Amino acid sequence: MKAVIQVNSRTYTIQIDQPLDISIPLRASKDNVNAWYLPPPKIYPSVVNKSVVSIGEGATVNFNTIEFNPHAHGTHTECVGHITKELYTINDCLTQFLFVTEVITVVPESFEGDYIISEKQLRYAIGNKKREAVVIRTLPNTKDKLSKQYSYTNPPYLTEAAAIYLRKKDVKHLLIDTPSVDKENDNGQLLAHKAFWNLGGQIRLNSTITELVFVPNSVKDGKYILNILIAPFENDASPSKPILYKLYDK
């Protein structure tokens, strides 16, 4: 099924009936993807007036409480409020939801005991394309990413120069399949976060970073329309469901 949409005054025809979901579902399980040294998320029936509100326990509805951390427990989209003393929320910062995006695939480079995504790699993958959003898929790319326990594993990350390159390319929305654009333990430097959001200058309030996506191998590199779906939390980050749509006309 075709749908014609306008994104930034340009018209695109997309395959509306073939959404490509690149989010990781949140499950109350030890096998839920996890990072940042937290226990798994919890989903359990609430207790109201000493009664368990679950159909299985005789109630008329299911009424669950959920305990999770958006940064640790799945695909999430964050704003600059993640790294500022000032309160900025994703609900205020993300006010548009459809973007022209480029999906790229990189093999992180070995560097001083780490694996990094470098400026050179991004320059090669993106070239002279101008995109509002970039989705970075790292190799190897296996379904283990759907349940990986990332704590203490030092996953790949972006260099500061790579983040500056994306900012200068006017990429407003960065999506990646690792827990963070920065090194797991960098003593609080957060160089890529700070560079992408331009923390030392005019802060890019309307820019976002989405982490812990999963881009199936069936999704080819190239140009798509991206829809970033979030819950309207007044928080620095929200669980999110980024959806890609194929284009009929490139």
Q: Would you say how long the chain is, in residues?
A: 250
CA distance 63 to 98: 32
Each of the 250 residues of the chain gets a pLDDT tens digit; together they read 889 989 988 999 998 999 999 999 999 999 999 999 999 999 999 999 999 999 999 999 999 999 999 999 999 999 999 999 999 999 999 999 999 999 999 999 999 999 999 999 999 999 999 999 999 999 999 999 999 999 999 999 999 999 999 999 999 999 999 999 999 999 999 999 999 999 999 999 999 999 999 999 999 999 999 999 999 999 999 999 999 999 986 5
Phi, psi of 5 (to 5 degrees): -130, 160
* pLDDT attached to residue 1: 85
Distances (CA, A) of 157 to 45, 46, 56, 153, 225: 38, 39, 44, 12, 25
CA distance 162 to 176: 13
> Per CATH, which fold does 2-33+70-245 belong to?
Glucose Oxidase; domain 1 (3.50.30)
CA distance 83 to 88: 10
Report the SS3 class of residue 160: helix
* pLDDT attached to residue 9: 86
CB contact set of 41 (below 8 Å; sequence gap of 6+): 26, 27, 28, 32, 66, 67, 68, 69, 73, 74
CA distance 7 to 177: 25
Report the SS3 class of residue 244: strand
DSSP states along 80-148: GGGS-SS---HHHH----EEEEEEEEE-PEEETTEEEE-HHHHHHHHTT---SEEEEEESS--GGGGT-
- The helix-helix angle for 160-168 and 119-126 (nearest 10°) equals 30
pTM above 0.85, yes or no: yes
Q: Could you state, in order of their start, the residue ranges of all structural domains in the chain?
A: 2-33+70-245
Which amino acid is it at 167? Answer: R
Q: How many CA atoms lie within 13 A of 110 on its CB side?
A: 1
Using CA atoms of 7, 11, 13, 19 in order, give the dihedral in degrees to the nearest 10: 0
Phi, psi of 241 (to 5 degrees): -135, 80
* pLDDT attached to residue 206: 97
